[in-house]
Amino acid sequence: MKKLRYACVGAGAVADYKHLLGYSRLKDVEIVAISDPDVGAAKRLAEKYSIPHVYENYEEMFEKEKLDLISVCTPNYLHAPISIKAMEKGIHVHCEKPMTLNAKEAHKVVEAKNKYKTKFMVGLNNRFTNESYFVKKYIEEGYLGEIYHVKTGWRRRRGIPGKGGWFTTKELSGGGPLIDLGVHFIDLVMYFMDYPEIKSVSAATYSKFSNSTSWNGWSEAKSGNGIYNVEDMAVGFIRLKNGTTIDFEFSWASNIEGDYNYYEILGDKGGIWFKNGQIKVFSEVVNTLVDIMPNTNYPKKPLDEFEHFVNCIKEDKEPLASAEEGAKLMEIIDAAYLSAEKGVEIVL
């Protein structure tokens, strides 16, 4: 089979250290173009990854290049229109999370994928870690038994993306840490359980650090007077139709000792605790409580995000983190924001 002709829309950090790095390692992918309104940024990545063609406008790139596959690595508000435009051209799409600004847009993406018979995958990279591979298999083999409660979160002490940029502008980002960090771990625990149906969602959001001067995050403040109309913490509770419950908390800033992400999965036969890349398994064997720390340093990474999507295109298979599951995830996020706004539980 000929190499897939690949292009990246967006020339920011996630395009660099994730998508371009990931696809540049694959022998059956040829990186042919990159686009970004910041042509200087696009040229820098073009030089780094030996990309022959640079565009300011992604639509021009779609017209001039015969593309098989793109990554969408842009601000959130552009995810849906770029993805749909690409699929109209018959181009497969690997879109960074969140899939879209909201569920309405997500369902339009699903419709386009089905109409134009293309592949679409959300860039939910936490599904593809060694630890997630182990947990998924461990659950599938029945070691946890019936899962009845899950707790998950991602907390930062001071990790607010640049104030005044698109991250802290709701119209451009869709929200704060719930849609930024929460999509990762809500998706992950739902994925572990095969995306069961949602019964209801309740949530609360807080915005307490808009005037903080101690940002110390991964992105400097864009402007001292920039827009900050999103939450910096969200907490909530999800009820599933099968009786399982999920408790979540996500923050860009809070007065805690340090940053961490985690999930705790409780089953009637065993439990799993994950924190900052480390797994612990708790069970009972021969009437004895047993704690295990699995070694997930596999000789070869069992599941690679980029190789997986390319194989799905070549073999005509549905990818993990599909458009349909992405839309379900956005329904949860929408319900959480609506619950926080109205102060009531939202029944789906």
Instruction: Report residue 210's pLDDT band, with 50, 70 and 90 as the boundaries.
Output: confident
Same domain, 111 and 25: yes
3-state secondary structure of 323: helix
127: pLDDT confidence band, cut at 50, 70 and 90?
A: very high
Alpha carbon distance 65, 48 (integer Å): 20
Q: For the whole model, what pTM was predicted?
A: 0.95
Residues sharing a CB contact under 8 Å with residue 155, sequence separation 6 or more, in sequence order: 249, 250, 251, 254, 256, 259, 260, 261
Q: Do 105 and 35 belong together in one domain?
A: yes
Q: 176: domain CATH number?
A: 3.30.360.10
When pLDDT is cut at 50, 70 and 90, the band that residue 161 belongs to is confident
Pairwise CA distance, residues 177 & 7, whole Å: 29
Do 151 and 98 belong together in one domain? Answer: no
pLDDT single digits (tens) 244-270:
999 999 999 999 999 999 999 999 999
Residue with tokens 């309405």: 104
168 and 40 co-located in one domain: no
Convert the pLDDT of each residue in 100-126 to its tens digit.
Answer: 999 999 999 999 999 999 999 999 999
- For residues 119 and 176, membership in a common domain is answered with no
State whether 145 and 46 are in the same domain.
no
Q: What number is the average pLDDT over the span 139-168?
A: 94
Instruction: State residue 224's pLDDT score.
Output: 47
Instruction: Report the pLDDT averaged over residues 161-187.
Output: 94
pLDDT tens readout for residues 32-79: 999 999 999 999 999 999 999 999 999 999 999 999 999 999 999 999
In angstroms, the CA 330 to CA 342 distance is 18
How many Å apart are CA 304 and CA 258, to the nearest integer? 29
Q: Say if residue 63 is in the same domain as residue 106.
A: yes
178 and 69 fall within a common domain: no
Q: Which domain holds residue 8?
A: 4-126+304-321
Q: Does residue 166 register a pLDDT over 70? A: yes
What is the secondary structure of 117-146 as a DSSP string?
T--EEEE-GGGGSHHHHHHHHHHHTTSS-S
| Residue 42 belongs to domain with CATH number | 3.40.50.720
**Are 231 and 207 in contact, with CB atoms under 8 Å apart?**
yes
Based on the domain organization, do 159 and 66 belong to the same domain?
A: no
pLDDT number for residue 223: 53
pLDDT attached to residue 163 = 76
Q: How far, in whole angstroms, is CA 202 from its chain's centroid?
A: 21
DSSP state of 77: G
Residues 173 and 61 in one domain: no
- 114 with 172, same domain? no
Percent of the chain residues past pLDDT 90, beyond the cut: 91
Q: Is there a contact between 132 and 195 (Cβ–Cβ < 8 Å)?
A: no
Q: How many domains does the chain have?
A: 2
Q: Looking at the structure, do residues 258 and 311 belong to the same domain, yes or no? A: no
Query: Of the candidates 323, 328, 324, 318, which has an alpha carbon nearest to the alpha carbon of residue 348?
Result: 328
What sign does the CA torsion over 128, 130, 131, 134 have?
A: positive
pLDDT for the residue 162 = 76
- On average, the pLDDT of the chain sits at 96
